[in-house]
Amino acid sequence: MAIRPCPVEGMVMKPERSFWSGKRVLLTGHTGFKGSWLALWLSRLGAKVTGVSLPPATAPNLFTLARLNELIDSRYADIRDTDQLSRIVQEAAPNIVFHLAAQALVRASYHQPLETFATNVMGTAHLLESLRGLAGVKVAVLVTTDKVYKNQEWPYPYREDDTLGGHDPYSASKAASEIVAASYRDAFLAAQGVAMATARAGNVIGGGDWSEDRLIPDAVRAWEADKPLEVRRPQAIRPWQHVLEPLAGYMRLAERLWHEPDLAGAYNFGPETGAAATVREVITQASKNYGHGEVIWGDGSEGPHEAGWLALEIAKARVTLGVTPQWSLFEAINRTMRWYRRQAEGADACELCLSEIADFEALP
């Protein structure tokens, strides 16, 4: 399909309150880092959110600290349980679905490959099956990852029509979930009137992430304990962005699909290509923003295989949806480390998040 320009190309497109107010939204993975931010933002916009997820995986966690159970209808369930998931979906009767639930860690996928494939591939299939024949649902946005592409280590960014693949089980499972999604869209959901897209986002950072084996959370844990951070691959390059950037993109994508279902397909969300940065650059800046932080730099030989260079081409999202990056990497790191410092000093997590959302919404 040819790219059709956004009707107001050149403007910064952010979620519209008038659109989301009163919409019934099903959000899987609402207890995770990105899911918690998205649940809070949707609630702020007036959406009626039903969350489906396992209980929070870490302590502390943003879902609990932000008291999201008071703002949305939170259901604890395993998306691998097709009967339980189907019952919840029918009760929620969503107009729009965001699918974020996943086993989302590369290193964990090496230790738990079967669980990773069961969650990321069959969990996606279970969700899509629950939407078959469901009245009222019009849009589904399935969030995958920038790692769905067969990584060639070439010096240019991946486009939505590049070959899918995956060396590690996490990447492979997400690439497989893209194929599952395309099959359900073509075989069932499009004819049913459900516009479905997949969203492939770069590495996100932001306050409230305490996951294991993620760069910024590992740094915060180490530095709060006055211990050095051990960095395995300081020269690895990734498309870093603040968490609000892709979330705004997901919501904008859902808005456009509601009105123009033929825009269904795959979309990349990330920083401009030249803004991709090394792990060393990110941690060096994070240490400055945090105020202190010792680092032990590895030589890249430790641990299982991970891609060395990864960037996304975001022209489709920019031209079709009007979505463009708003905060520089410097700004994203500064806001992230300030969030952790203020939260550790006693600031309310929910208010910290709402303040950042308000800043993002106020951008010209």
CATH of the domain at 122: 3.40.50.720
Asked whether residue 6 is assigned to any structural domain, the reply reads no
Tens of pLDDT along the chain (364 residues) come to: 455 566 544 444 689 999 999 999 999 999 999 999 999 999 999 999 999 999 999 999 999 999 999 999 999 999 999 999 999 999 999 999 999 999 988 889 999 999 999 999 999 999 999 999 999 999 999 999 999 999 888 878 999 999 999 999 999 999 999 999 999 999 999 999 999 999 999 799 999 999 988 999 999 999 999 999 999 889 998 899 999 999 999 999 999 999 999 999 999 999 998 888 999 999 999 999 998 889 999 986 666 656 667 889 999 999 999 999 999 999 999 999 999 999 999 999 999 999 999 999 999 8
Cβ neighbours around 155 below 10 Å, total: 7
- Please report whether residue 187 resides in a domain: yes
1 in a domain, yes or no?
no
The boundaries of the domain holding residue 116 are 17-361
Q: Is residue 36 part of a domain?
A: yes
User: What single-letter DSSP state applies at residue 120?
Assistant: I
* 128 within a domain of the structure (yes/no): yes
Instruction: Evaluate whether residue 7 is within a structural domain.
Output: no
In a domain, 255, yes or no: yes
For 149, residues 6+ apart whose C-beta sits below 8 A from its C-beta are 158, 162, 163, 164, 165, 175
**Total Cβ atoms within 10 A of residue 324:** 17
Spatial contact of 60 and 37, defined as CB atoms under 8 Å apart: no
Number of domains in the chain: 1
40 lies in some domain: yes
| DSSP-derived 3-state class of residue 6 | coil
